[in-house]
A = this chain, B = another copy of it.
Amino acid sequence: MSHGDSRKKILSAATRLFQLQGYYGTGLNQIIKESGAPKGSLYYHFPEGKEQLAIEAVNQMNEYVRLKITESLEKCSDPAEGIQSFLKELSCQFTCPENIEGLPVGLLAAETSLKSEFLRHACDQAYETWENAFAEKLQQSGFCENKAKEISTVINSMIEGGIILSITRKDSKPLLHIANLIPKLLKT
Chain B neighbourhood of A133, CB < 8 A: none
- The residues in A between 136 and 184 inclusive whose CB is less than 8 angstroms from any CB of B are 150-151, 153-154, 156-165, 167-170, 173-174, 177-178, 180-181, 184
Task: State the number of copies, please.
Answer: 2
**CA–CA, A187 and B157, complex, Å:** 20
Chain B neighbourhood of A120, CB < 8 A: 168, 170
A107:B113 contact, CB within 8 angstroms:
no
Chain B neighbourhood of A44, CB < 8 A: none
A127:B169 contact, CB within 8 angstroms:
yes
Q: Is A3 an interface residue (CB 8 A)?
A: no
Nearest to A123 among chain B residues (CB) is B168
Chain B neighbourhood of A40, CB < 8 A: none
**CA–CA, A97 and B181, complex, Å:** 32
B124:A168 contact, CB within 8 angstroms:
yes
Q: Mark A86-115, 1 if CB is under 8 A from B, else 0.
A: 000000000001000000001101111111
**Which residues does A use to contact B, with CB under 8 Å?**
20-25, 97, 106-107, 109-115, 120, 123-124, 127, 150-151, 153-154, 156-165, 167-170, 173-174, 177-178, 180-181, 184-185, 187
